[in-house]
Each structure stands twice: as structure tokens, then as C-alpha cells.
């Protein structure tokens, strides 16, 4: 009787030992398993219903392990609950098609977004929630602890030390959650070496390492060719620099990806310098190493840049600029998505990025009716960090201008993060940016979501920049005024056509709407000759030959 009451407190540990015991014969030396034995390894250590993290980052992919997971016997391994940042590869969804996995909690999907929506609709996949990166990482330490993590690194030694190097990205946050909760961690690496370049993940946290037949897949996501930047983008970049960066003295920031922010980056050493803003703006970035940042970095604008991940071709350049980037004793970049997202949320005064649609209330979304693309990191950077307690000039000024401040907290001074959406009023194929109702509502219906996926909510949004002008929407004192400010910069879209000229005039007088003329910008100067580099080749020249662009960007 008494013995039956003894509670066992280490079932997870015993379970792990049992699983590892079953695959002992596959281990050659130290923790090394041969690539050809990977499917058998997975079948040995994974059990039906497990939460499995398959490392799919924004950039690097555990593609070999993903392929092997698709090859396990669905009679043995089924009902897996996948928890992973990104659905990027075909194999990430194939595991659902084959009946190996059942449920998904994730953050972002790019090229697979359409197929993901189909799977949800057809009942092939049970969608948990769509998260931001930081939010998903947080749940790895609460109710989504992975039982097995399948991660990826550049190098491993036989003991299991990993070098994740330039593209460390999500690996540390995944491995820590798994390893310390008695989970099993398997790493695919490009090379098994005698001594790793640098220990990014200590051997004690890793259970198995596999040299994959070919190097892991990585995507150059953040490279924008300056040759494709348009005059309109130059005009909007000039407005952003003068009307927002300069106006508020924005020192710490994150740039979303796209041509608008690429144009801003390339105008810092020209237009920014001309306005006398060097040293007064853009000193600290949470940003991937964008090649279009090279001219600004070379001109001495940037004091500090922490990276979520790497960017193909920027390895040597970044290594040679350790005053700016975070570099290990081995001389290569250490990126880390979790820390960079934390910096983006708490330490940055501004987020600026493009979007797909903005509704008449100022909510914006990148969702379309038939693609579940998710969020990534933008909502964490594109929101007012309510827990922020440190101050800065830009943050305080924005808070001071906030039209609802007194209504919400009385007479207390409090800052506000600048959250800027930058988009032309029409996109390709004449699709309007400003809409009566977001397509996110249609997606909610089509994919049976709890709510429409919103990238940035109107109450966090502070500025909208279009080719017409800037709406300082945070200055508005109610929704009626905010909607008028949005109409005023919505151009010839149906929303914009409803703008009342007298109302717009009044908003301009109050400084809630500013046109390029109001900002003192000579619009006739807005053309590509303002860019510090006009093509990829000029970026290479600025870098002194240290930037090695991927082949698809080389045309000389």
C-alpha cells in the first residue's frame, strides 16, 4: 500500500533514457549517427502525439531532417504536434499529408501559405495558433515544450558541440527549451569536425548529430537590388527621413523588409547627410545585415546593429566590421532571433515597414483570402511595448503628441513607440492599399480562424506614409479624426476619394497631415540619382569588395 503512494517525479527523464536506449546501436562514435540511419533514429526516438520542433527559420532550414521525418512509417509515428517558427519547405506540410503530423503551432509561412490554407480547409491539418516569433518562443517554455527538436547547424564535433555561426537564428531558444525539459535534440550539420569554430550550443544539450548529405538550405531574404527602386519610393523615403526620422530624432529602430526601407537606407548618406541628421538618427538597429545598409555603415552612421539572422553574401563584410556587428572570438557573426526580437520590442524607438492592406480605421494586414502567411516578427516590433520604462527623445515626443494620452492615463507623461506603415496607395495591378474591409476577414472565414489575422492594430499605428503625404494618426483625438487623416493620404483609392478637401485642409493646419510641400521637400528632386548606390555592383564597391552577392543578383 505505502509503496504504491510513492510518486515518481522524473518520468520525462526515464522516458528519454528509454527512447535513447532504443537507438544506441545507431550511434557510431560520441553522438554521431550516419545520415543513412536518420529515419531509423527518428522512428526510435519519436512517439505518436509528441510535440516536435522541426527547425524552420526565417532563413536556414533543417531540410535534411525534414525530408527524413517525411519518410518515417506513419503506422509507427503519427499525430505529431509540430511547433516551429516557419513553414518554408514543401516537406514541412508533406508530414501532414502523409498522416505523420496532425497539429501545427507556428509563426510564419512564405511560399507554402496557399497550400497551408488548403490543408486547413481540407482538414488535413489542425491549426493551433498563429504567433509572432517571440510569442511562439515564449510558449516553448510554457505549454508548447518540444519533446523532440530537430535543429540545424554549420558544424558539430563528435561530442555534440554545435557551431551555428552567422545564422544562429532560433537554434538556442529551441534547444534550451527542449534539452532542459528532458527532451531529445537532434542536429543536422554541414560538417562534422574535430574542433568546432566556436561553441554556440554546448555538447551537453545535444543528443545526436548527423552530417547531412548536402549543406542546409538558406534563402537570401533581405537583399533588395537598388536598381529596382522607383522614383516614388525615393520620394516616400525623403518624406520618411525628414518628416519622421528627423522630426523625432529616431536613434534606435527596425526596418521591415522591402524596397521602401531599402530606399531609406540608401538615402541616409545622401539626403540624410544633407539634412544634417548624421549622428542624430539611425545609430542603433535591430536588423538583419541588409546589403543596402552598407553605404550608411561605411559613412559612419551606425553604432550598433544586432541581427535576427544572417544574409547570404554579407559574411565577410560583417566580420570585418566588429565595431558595428556582434562578432564572436572566431571572427564570425552571432545572430540570435530571440534576443533581436526582444531588442526590437523593447529597445527600439521605431518600427517602419510596408504592408499589403490598411483599412479605413488604420488596421493593417498582409493576409489575403487564400493564404495563411502568418506574422513573423513584425507585430512585436510594430507595437507599443507597454512594459517599456526607459525613455528617449523620440519615444517621449511621440507620447507627448498622442491624442488619447490624457484620456487613458490622465496627466502623466509617458512615451509611445513610433509604428510607421509605408505604402503606395496602389500596388501592382492597381490593387488599392486602402480598403473598406481587410481581406483578413475573408481568410478568417476560409480558414476558420478565431479572428482575422492583423499585423498592426490601429491603436499601435502612429504614422502612415504614402506618396501623397504623411498622416500622423497618433495625434488624432478620436476615431473620426483618424479616419479623416487616413482618407487624406489615401490618394485615388475609393477610401481616398471620400476625403473632404476642407477637412484635409484643417488636418494640415493641425499638423496631423503633411504633404511633401508642407515638409519643405522639393518633389522634383525625388529620383534615383539620390540613391547612394544605384545597383548591386555599387554596393560591392562601397563594401570594398567584402560583400559577395549571391549569383542571382550578379549581372556584370
Partner 1 sequence: MALNEMKFEFKAENPKSINKGWSHFGVVGSGDMEILMEKMDLNGSVQVKIVTPVTGFDNVWGMVMEKFIRSSNLGDVYIEINDNNATPVVVSMRLRQALADANKQEEEVDEDA
Give me the half-sphere count of Cα atoms (radius 13 Å) on the Cβ side of residue 530.
27
Asked if 243 touches partner 1 (CB under 8 A), the answer is no
Question: Which of 448, 492, 498, 544 is close enough to bind partner 1 by CB under 8 A?
Answer: 492
Strand boundaries in 307-367, DSSP class E: 350-353, 357-359, 364-365
Asked if 501 touches partner 1 (CB under 8 A), the answer is yes
The SS3 of residue 265 is helix
The stretch near partner 1 (CB under 8 A) out of 55-63, 178-186, 216-224, 424-432 is 424-432
Question: Which of 235, 282, 333, 447 is close enough to bind partner 1 by CB under 8 A?
Answer: 235
Which of 476, 366, 368 lies closest to 421 in space, CA to CA? 366
Measured CA to CA, the distance from residue 168 to residue 538 in angstroms comes to: 29
Question: Which of 32, 485, 526, 531 is close enough to bind partner 1 by CB under 8 A?
Answer: 526
Asked if 232 touches partner 1 (CB under 8 A), the answer is yes
Measured CA to CA, the distance from residue 349 to residue 523 in angstroms comes to: 28
Asked if 426 touches partner 1 (CB under 8 A), the answer is yes
Q: Which residue has the cell 548591386?
A: 536
Asked if 516 touches partner 1 (CB under 8 A), the answer is yes
Asked if 194 touches partner 1 (CB under 8 A), the answer is no
> Are 60 and 84 spatial neighbours (Cβ–Cβ below 8 Å)?
no
Continuous segment of H or E residues that includes residue 175: helix 171-179
Asked if 4 touches partner 1 (CB under 8 A), the answer is no
Closest to partner 1 by CB, 231 or 459:
231
Asked if 469 touches partner 1 (CB under 8 A), the answer is no
State the nearest-atom distance from the C-beta of 513 to partner 1, in Å.
13
As separate numbers, helices (DSSP H) first and strands (DSSP E) second, the chain gives: 22, 23
State the nearest-atom distance from the C-beta of 426 to partner 1, in Å.
5
Asked if 502 touches partner 1 (CB under 8 A), the answer is no
Asked if 518 touches partner 1 (CB under 8 A), the answer is no
Asked if 408 touches partner 1 (CB under 8 A), the answer is no
Asked if 357 touches partner 1 (CB under 8 A), the answer is no
**DSSP character at residue 114:** H
State the nearest-atom distance from the C-beta of 237 to partner 1, in Å.
13
Question: Which of 44, 362, 374, 491 is close enough to bind partner 1 by CB under 8 A?
Answer: 491
State the nearest-atom distance from the C-beta of 491 to partner 1, in Å.
6
Q: Which residue has the cell 547531412?
A: 212
Which of 420, 413, 355 lies closest to 381 in space, CA to CA? 420
Asked if 384 touches partner 1 (CB under 8 A), the answer is no
Asked if 409 touches partner 1 (CB under 8 A), the answer is no
Asked if 430 touches partner 1 (CB under 8 A), the answer is yes
Q: Which three cell numbers stand for residue 450?
A: 478565431
Asked if 228 touches partner 1 (CB under 8 A), the answer is no
Question: Which of 118, 135, 231, 401 is close enough to bind partner 1 by CB under 8 A?
Answer: 231
> Are 315 and 296 spatial neighbours (Cβ–Cβ below 8 Å)?
no
The β-bridge partners of 162 are 156, 201
The SS3 of residue 338 is helix
How many whole angstroms from its chain centre is CA 400?
A: 29
Asked if 405 touches partner 1 (CB under 8 A), the answer is no
The stretch near partner 1 (CB under 8 A) out of 9-17, 284-292, 520-528, 530-538 is 520-528
State the nearest-atom distance from the C-beta of 235 to partner 1, in Å.
6
The stretch near partner 1 (CB under 8 A) out of 254-262, 284-292, 457-465, 489-497 is 489-497
> Are 436 and 495 spatial neighbours (Cβ–Cβ below 8 Å)?
yes
> DSSP letters along 474-543, please?
GG-SSHHHHHHHHHHTSTTSHHHHT--HHHHHHHHHTTSEE-TTTTT--GGG-SGGGSS-SSHHHHHHHT
Measured CA to CA, the distance from residue 152 to residue 55 in angstroms comes to: 7
Asked if 241 touches partner 1 (CB under 8 A), the answer is no
Closest to partner 1 by CB, 14 or 525:
525
Question: Which of 2, 122, 143, 522 is close enough to bind partner 1 by CB under 8 A?
Answer: 522
Which residues lie below 8 Å from residue 158, measured CB to CB, with a gap of 6+?
29, 30, 31, 32, 192, 194, 209
Closest to partner 1 by CB, 141 or 492:
492
Which of 354, 356, 360 lies closest to 497 in space, CA to CA? 360
Asked if 467 touches partner 1 (CB under 8 A), the answer is yes
Closest to partner 1 by CB, 344 or 496:
496
Segment 324 to 353, residues that bind partner 1, using CB under 8 A: none
Continuous segment of H or E residues that includes residue 252: strand 252-255
State the nearest-atom distance from the C-beta of 516 to partner 1, in Å.
7
Binding interface with partner 1 (CB under 8 A): 230-232, 235, 424-426, 430, 467-468, 491-492, 497, 501, 516, 522-524, 526
Amino acid at each position: 500500500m505505502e509503496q504504491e503512494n510513492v510518486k515518481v517525479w522524473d518520468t520525462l527523464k526515464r522516458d528519454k533514457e528509454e527512447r535513447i536506449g532504443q537507438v544506441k546501436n545507431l550511434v557510431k562514435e560520441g553522438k554521431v549517427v550516419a545520415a543513412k540511419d536518420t529515419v531509423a533514429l527518428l522512428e526510435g526516438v519519436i512517439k505518436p502525439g509528441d510535440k516536435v520542433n522541426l527547425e524552420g527559420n526565417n532563413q536556414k532550414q533543417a531540410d535534411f531532417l525534414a525530408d527524413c521525418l517525411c519518410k518515417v512509417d506513419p503506422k509507427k509515428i503519427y499525430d505529431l504536434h509540430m511547433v516551429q517558427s516557419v513553414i518554408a519547405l514543401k516537406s514541412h506540410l508533406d508530414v501532414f499529408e502523409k498522416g505523420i503530423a496532425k497539429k501545427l503551432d507556428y509563426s510564419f509561412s512564405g511560399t507554402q501559405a496557399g497550400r497551408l490554407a488548403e490543408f486547413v480547409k481540407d482538414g488535413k491539418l489542425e491549426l493551433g495558433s498563429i504567433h509572432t516569433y517571440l510569442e511562439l518562443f515564449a510558449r516553448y517554455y510554457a505549454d508548447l515544450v518540444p519533446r523532440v527538436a530537430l535543429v540545424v547547424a554549420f558544424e558539430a564535433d563528435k561530442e555534440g558541440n554545435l557551431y551555428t555561426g552567422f545564422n544562429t537564428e532560433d537554434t538556442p531558444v529551441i534547444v534550451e527549451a527542449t534539452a532542459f525539459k528532458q527532451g531529445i535534440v537532434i542536429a543536422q550539420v554541414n560538417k562534422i569536425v574535430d574542433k568546432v569554430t566556436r561553441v554556440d550550443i554546448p555538447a551537453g544539450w545535444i543528443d545526436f548529430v548527423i552530417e547531412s548529405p548536402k549543406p542546409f538550405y538558406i534563402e537570401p531574404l533581405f537583399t533588395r537590388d537598388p536598381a529596382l527602386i522607383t522614383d516614388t519610393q525615393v520620394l516616400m523615403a525623403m518624406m520618411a527621413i525628414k518628416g519622421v526620422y528627423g522630426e523625432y530624432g529616431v536613434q534606435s529602430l527596425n526596418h521591415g523588409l522591402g524596397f521602401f526601407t531599402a530606399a531609406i537606407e540608401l538615402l541616409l548618406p545622401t539626403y540624410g547627410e544633407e539634412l544634417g541628421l548624421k549622428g542624430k538618427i539611425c545609430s542603433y538597429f535591430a536588423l538583419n545585415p541588409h546589403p543596402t545598409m552598407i553605404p550608411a555603415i561605411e559613412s559612419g552612421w551606425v553604432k550598433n546593429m544586432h541581427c535576427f539572422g544572417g544574409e547570404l553574401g554579407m559574411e565577410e563584410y560583417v566580420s570585418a566590421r566588429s565595431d558595428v556587428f556582434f562578432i564572436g572570438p572566431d571572427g564570425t557573426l552571432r545572430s540570435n532571433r530571440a534576443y533581436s526580437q526582444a531588442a526590437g520590442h523593447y529597445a527600439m524607438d521605431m518600427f517602419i515597414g510596408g504592408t499589403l492592406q490598411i483599412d479605413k480605421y488604420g488596421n493593417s494586414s498582409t493576409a489575403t483570402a487564400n493564404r495563411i502567411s502568418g506574422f513573423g516578427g513584425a507585430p512585436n516590433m510594430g507595437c507599443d511595448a507597454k512594459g517599456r520604462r526607459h525613455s528617449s527623445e523620440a519615444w517621449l515626443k511621440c507620447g507627448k503628441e498622442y491624442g488619447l494620452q490624457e484620456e487613458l492615463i490622465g496627466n502623466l507623461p509617458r512615451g509611445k513607440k513610433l509604428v510607421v506603415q509605408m505604402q503606395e496607395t496602389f500596388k501592382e495591378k492597381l490593387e488599392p492599399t486602402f480598403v473598406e474591409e481587410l481581406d483578413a476577414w475573408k481568410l478568417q472565414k476560409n480558414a476558420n480562424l478565431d479572428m482575422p489575422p492583423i499585423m498592426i492594430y490601429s491603436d499601435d499605428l502612429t504614422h502612415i506614409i504614402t506618396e501623397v503625404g504623411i498622416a500622423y494618426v497618433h495625434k488624432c483625438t478620436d476615431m473620426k479624426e483618424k479616419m479623416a487623416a487616413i482618407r487624406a493620404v489615401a490618394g485615388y483609392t475609393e477610401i481616398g476619394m471620400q476625403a473632404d478637401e476642407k477637412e484635409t485642409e484643417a488636418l494640415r493646419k493641425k499638423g496631423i497631415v503633411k504633404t511633401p510641400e508642407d515638409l519643405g521637400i522639393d518633389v522634383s528632386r525625388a529620383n534615383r540619382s539620390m540613391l547612394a548606390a544605384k545597383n548591386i555592383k555599387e554596393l560591392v564597391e562601397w563594401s570594398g569588395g567584402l560583400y559577395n552577392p549571391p549569383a542571382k543578383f550578379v549581372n556584370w
